[in-house]
Structure 1
Amino acid sequence: MQTVSNQLIKLLEQNPEKTCFVLKHNQIVFTSEQKGVKPMMDYYSSYGSSTEPLTVVDRIIGKGAIILAILIGADQVITPIISQVALDFATKSNIKVKYCKIVPFIINRTKDGQCPIECSVTHINDIHEGYEAIRKTLLKLNTNKGTADCVKTNKINKQGDGSFVCIKNI
């Protein structure tokens, strides 16, 4: 018998074009094919903060995504991949997280450094300050088509075949 978490992870496997699902009372209320934090930014712009608990199922969760998940009203996040800083912040914020793999940080799209969104919020612990940092970083990225102000690193290790296996709970 599959757990609800495993069934929700399967949503990502069965819908490879989708990157994010938001559920309320176990019903899908929002989906997106956008990359990065854009789905949750779009959700927040359209619906604001939910008064009822939400579940976010997303392909990759960094600290920026956790901040936005909290802002939209999520009390649970399910993901195949989460960064350590995102997991730490979720734990401190009493967000239930189910994941397959913890990574030291989320890599950028060119795979040569840290994700600029995660970089922008690494040392921020207030969700509203985090939202502003994310918004400003997205604006800067869209304007400059650059990598914001993140440091590049060569310590990136590609692994995995794209399939999702175990779920770890905290």
Structure 2
Amino acid sequence: MNAGLAKELLEQHGAACIILRNDEIIFTHVGIGVKPLIAFMEKPLEERSGSLVLVDKVIGKAALLMAVKLGIKNIYTPLVSEEALDAAGVHGVTIEALETVPYIINRTNDGKCPLEQSVTGIYDPEAAFVKIKQAISELMKKAVTL
């Protein structure tokens, strides 16, 4: 597989995230951000075992560290951040992307993605997951008050 085929696979399945084991799709999700990875984390351990490959629309550092937490070592994506590539190097994860950007932009296109911001300076997947959950909680509170 390569990043171009990964993009086609995402489009073909109408998904934002696909996880494969032994070239077989075992999980697809249409959610944005890290929601698909959180949903996959909630699956029973036997469903998350083996050599997994992640195909995702966007890989920022938060998504990368969640993939590391899941034991994923190979990622294909149309778009990756420099911070994600840096963290991938630390954890021995291979990422193939069509485009690399300095950081993932937030949904209002006026700054850095809050989840990527939440893991600045963090390389430990467990510590990152705590920060990611806190950031999601804060974002949910803001959404309720709007």
* Aligned residue number for residue 62 of structure 1: 60
What is the CA-CA distance between 1:56 and the residue it aligns to?
A: 0.5
* Aligned residue number for residue 135 of structure 2: 137
- CA distance 1:14–1:51, shift in 2 (3 Å): closer
What secondary structure does 1:69 align onto?
A: helix
Match of 2:97 among 93, 96, 99: 99
What is the CA-CA distance between 1:8 and the residue it aligns to?
A: 2.9
Count of aligned positions? 142
* Aligned residue number for residue 26 of structure 1: 23
Structure 1 length normalisation: TM-score? 0.79
Instruction: Give, in whole Å, the separation in 2 of the partners of 1:55 and 1:80.
Output: 15
Q: State the one-letter code of the partner of 1:127.
A: P
Higher helix share: 2
Percent identity of the aligned residues?
A: 34
* Aligned residue number for residue 106 of structure 2: 108
What secondary structure does 1:46 align onto?
A: coil
What secondary structure does 1:145 align onto?
A: helix
Instruction: Give, in whole Å, the separation in 2 of the partners of 1:51 and 1:45.
Output: 13
Q: Where does structure 2 lack aligned partners over 5 or more consecutive residues?
A: none
Q: Where does structure 1 lack aligned partners over 5 or more consecutive residues?
A: 147-170
* Aligned residue number for residue 164 of structure 1: none
Larger radius of gyration: 1
